[in-house]
Structure 1
Amino acid sequence: MDSVNIKDIIGIGLGPYNLGLAALLEKAPELEAAFFDESQEFAWHPGMLIEEMDLQVPFLADLVTFADPTSRFSYLNFLHERNRMYQFYFFKKFEVPRNEYNDYLRWAIQKLDNLHFQSRVVDILDHQDANDPHYELVVEAVNNGKRTRHYARHVVMGTGSTPSVPQQLEGMPASDVVHTSRYLEEKENLLEAECITIVGSGQSAAEVFLDLLREQDRIGCHLALFTRSPGLFQLEQAKLGQEFFSPDYVDYFHSLGFEERNNTLEMLDKLRKGIDPDTLREIYNILYQKSHGGRKIPVTIQPLTEIKDIKKNRGGYQLTCHQWQQDKTFPFHTDKVVLATGYKPAIPDWFQDRFAAKIEWEDDKRFKVTRDYQLAFKQTRPNQFFTLTNLEHSHGAGATNLGLAVQRNVHIINNIAGREVYPNQRDTIFQQFTME
């Protein structure tokens, strides 16, 4: 393969994870890398960039700081270059406004020249028998369909997630039954409804409910929120609880057996799926203000309730709802539905075709991943295939945590470079999870 340029790393997908990898590679100049993403341009969850909503992690969980606080890609340097340091100082919040986090990521992208948008990876050929083992990536230009080939010794798959819609709610018009990933895109259309129903119990459901609650007096609609969970519970924010988002805990979690890991994820639900206390507080404050003088506000909030079916009815939709604790079913009429039903890993079609038979699986949907974020191949190989996607079962509740994403990239860079480019820090917390 002397006639082609074999890069050290090719990253697939350009969300915060691979973007952080690209930024941190600046201190490993011996590694040549390129990154491809099919999007027209970068936008971080554009459907949920609701004004006045913050990230649920501190600004230190940026692209680089946990590995290198001196990096030019830090959030503080972004503020400095934008002349916002004093404003952020007086802002006196540890959390980052979500819109500004999106601005920060776009700022970082402008500083890197090896990122390629409108470029969809449609296939990967595995050349392990060649004199110089490598991967061959087929990349299709989104605008004209032209295909090019690129070569890498190591691949990092960061294809993110895709909206998860319950089967019983599929097939409805996209303008009427809207996943939160498209909320802002459809918001003006939603505001024309007489009744809007939100389905879900997590942060996204609460944020959409709060945003529409603020609009309610102007638009005069009924708002409903149904969730099958036992209630709308706040995110666990105790300091010792937060230590579960640490490299030390990831080490412990990964050492457990598959069944034990799954059981542990359920025990950590309050750390993973709760709602920010400020969001819950604001919702309650608005409801309290609206209800003074004995006024009945047009709001329905009901936990313990699953949506079993949806059918068109009287210009809107009839939901078949089931209160599972009492085992009671009832109808509910609505004009629009917002699904805050989460996401599932986005695994490309070529992955199943090319690699499913070569790797080890923990069950029929979850592949085995090493502690260093490599796919576990049945036969060992020098050319690694790293994954940043579909890791919850292998690396725990912090698999989607932005702070731990930096530590994940430290593992990958040090592994490929064969040296300690960044310290892989341990003994970072006060707790321990095993006696050794």
Structure 2
Amino acid sequence: MSRLYDVVGIGIGPYNLGLAALMEKTELEGIFLDRTPEFRWHPGMMIEKMDLQVPFLADVVTFADPTSPYSYLNYLHKQNRMFKFFFYSEFKVPRPEYNAYLSWVANQLENLRFGKTVVDVIDHKDDETPHYEVVVKEEDGQTESYFGKHVVMGTGSEPLILDSMSGFPVEDVLHTSSYLYEKENLLHSKHVTVVGSGQSAAEVFLDLLQEQMNRDMHLTLLTRSGGLFQLDSSKLGQEFFSPDYVDYFHSLSYDQRMKALDTLGNLRKGIDPDTLIQLYETLYHRTVDGKKANVTIQPLTEVQEINAGEGHYTLKCKQWQKEETFDYHSEKVVLATGYKPHIPKWFQERFADEIEWEDDKRYKVTRDFRLEFKDTHTNHFFTLTNLEHSHGAGATNLGLAVQRNIEIINLLAGKEIYQNQRDTIFQQFTMDEDKKK
């Protein structure tokens, strides 16, 4: 066995990127692997003038270490943009700039390896020093192994496309993750339909609407939800993304957790209020003097199937409240149908029978983000992927991602490297024993 790292990170997104950055102030040694040739974060959705939905403090390090050289504020300072950001007077960050920030962090870290596709992870749990062997395929097709006492899987998510909507040319029927790659093609179409109800659907529809002015194009937005509702950004509501609430949520039974997720829908889903304001104002100004907006926006409508026609696509739709079905024709279709956790094939083959599951898709995860094995494991397998059922609405929140990394680093180090803060909010979720009567 060659060099044995304390941890091997699989996937380099914001979560593992933050872990790599925070490990620099520790004695822990880690290596992080990703299949892409360079750092990329949702490149198909870097739409101009669209902001991140969390404040700039939710960078990859600040909640753990505000003095870190990898903070967003230090990025602005190094780019000579501090005064510009100060006069910009916004708490939110433009999404393309956040992507530039992440790339800036990645370019400074020496423990990242790109162009490494993980094809297998072998659990050497019975060795004198239990560890994992992470097998990667290089860009030239050769294989190589990395060895780590522990593994952190941060493989992120992948587009969710129903079988009834797949198999068509990507230039005609595409997921929002490919939007910018196909945008120019869409702009030469006579009719584009966006299917979805969340932030991505609203952003793509708004971007096309702003480009539509001098084009002979009809735009349609079909959404299954009851309307284009805004995300709950209330201050007390945001406390459900705190470590304190995660403690409470994780303590619930599986059934209680799934029910709790349903009650938090307005915090998990919905559209940023600023995006909805821009959308409405664009439509309002577009229709001055009785002009037509040349758009169709219809909620309460489920697209059940897509079929190819002659020069168009037929969307099989159902207005579920009135239980009316109808066909709708469009030249192009953009699917804002969300994402699902990306669980690699090697994980299913190697670990599906070795770990505990909550149901057939959701594995059991400890409060400190370790998979629960059926037998005793001293070589831990951490996961940053597929956590909503175990850690609540904040599982994909960028701010809480730093909190995850605090807990992982402290556990690996065997001491508190970064302060694991609690009692951070004004609410409580169960009554203190001494206050019960």
Q: Name the counterpart of 1:298.
A: 294
Q: Name the counterpart of 2:335.
A: 339
Aligned mate of 2:279, from 283, 291, 294: 283
Q: Name the counterpart of 1:357.
A: 353
TM-score normalized by the length of structure 2 = 0.98
Q: For 2:305 and 2:117, how far apart are their aligned partners in 1?
A: 36
Provide structure 1 residue ranges, at least 5 long, that are not aligned to the other structure.
Answer: none
Q: Post-superposition shift, 1:53?
A: 0.3
Aligned mate of 2:24, from 23, 26, 37: 26
Q: Name the counterpart of 2:435.
A: none
Q: Name the counterpart of 1:12.
A: 10
Q: Which amino acid is 2:99 matched to?
A: N
Q: For 2:125 and 2:148, how far apart are their aligned partners in 1?
A: 12
Identity, in percent, stands at: 63
Q: Which amino acid is 1:415 matched to?
A: L
Q: Post-superposition shift, 1:296?
A: 2.3
User: Which consecutive aligned stretches of 4+ in structure 1 deviate over 3 angstroms post-superposition?
Assistant: none
Q: Name the counterpart of 1:58.
A: 55
Q: Name the counterpart of 1:69.
A: 66
Aligned mate of 1:119, from 103, 111, 116: 116
The number of residue pairs the alignment matches comes to: 432
C-alpha distance after superposition, 1:401-421 (max 9, x if no partner):
000000000000000000100
Q: For 1:134 and 1:308, how far apart are their aligned partners in 2?
A: 46
Q: For 1:218 and 1:102, how far apart are their aligned partners in 2?
A: 31
Q: Name the counterpart of 1:317.
A: 313
Q: For 1:154 and 1:40, how far apart are their aligned partners in 2?
A: 24
Q: Post-superposition shift, 1:308?
A: 1.4
**Is residue 2:25 matched to residue 1:41?**
no
Q: For 2:121 and 2:282, how far apart are their aligned partners in 1?
A: 52
Q: For 2:172 and 2:44, how far apart are their aligned partners in 1?
A: 15
Q: For 1:381 and 1:46, how far apart are their aligned partners in 2?
A: 38
Provide structure 2 residue ranges, at least 5 long, that are not aligned to the other structure.
Answer: 433-437
C-alpha distance after superposition, 1:78-136 (max 9, x if no partner):
00011110000000000000010011001101111110000011001111111111111
Q: For 2:106 and 2:293, how far apart are their aligned partners in 1?
A: 46
Q: For 1:419 and 1:27, how far apart are their aligned partners in 2?
A: 13
Q: Post-superposition shift, 1:294?
A: 2.1
Q: Name the counterpart of 1:103.
A: 100
**Is residue 2:267 matched to residue 1:257?**
no
Q: Which amino acid is 2:252 matched to?
A: L
Report the secondary structure of 2:353's partner residue.
coil
C-alpha distance after superposition, 1:216-268 (max 9, x if no partner):
11222000000111111001011000100100000011011111111111111
Q: For 1:308 and 1:202, how far apart are their aligned partners in 2?
A: 18
Q: For 1:395 and 1:250, how far apart are their aligned partners in 2?
A: 6
Q: Post-superposition shift, 1:56?
A: 0.3
Report the secondary structure of 2:193's partner residue.
strand
Report the secondary structure of 1:181's partner residue.
helix
Q: For 1:353 and 1:104, how far apart are their aligned partners in 2?
A: 36
Q: For 2:357 and 2:128, how far apart are their aligned partners in 1?
A: 29
C-alpha distance after superposition, 1:367-392 (max 9, x if no partner):
00000000011112111000000000
Q: Post-superposition shift, 1:4?
A: 2.4
**Is residue 2:425 matched to residue 1:429?**
yes
Q: Post-superposition shift, 1:297?
A: 1.8
Q: Post-superposition shift, 1:5?
A: 1.5
**Is residue 2:175 matched to residue 1:156?**
no
Q: Post-superposition shift, 1:303?
A: 0.5
Q: Which amino acid is 1:269 matched to?
A: G
Q: For 1:122 and 1:374, how far apart are their aligned partners in 2?
A: 21
Q: Name the counterpart of 1:78.
A: 75
Farther-moved stretch of structure 1 (399-408 vs 130-139)? 130-139
Q: For 2:2 and 2:293, how far apart are their aligned partners in 1?
A: 67
Q: Which amino acid is 2:335 matched to?
A: L
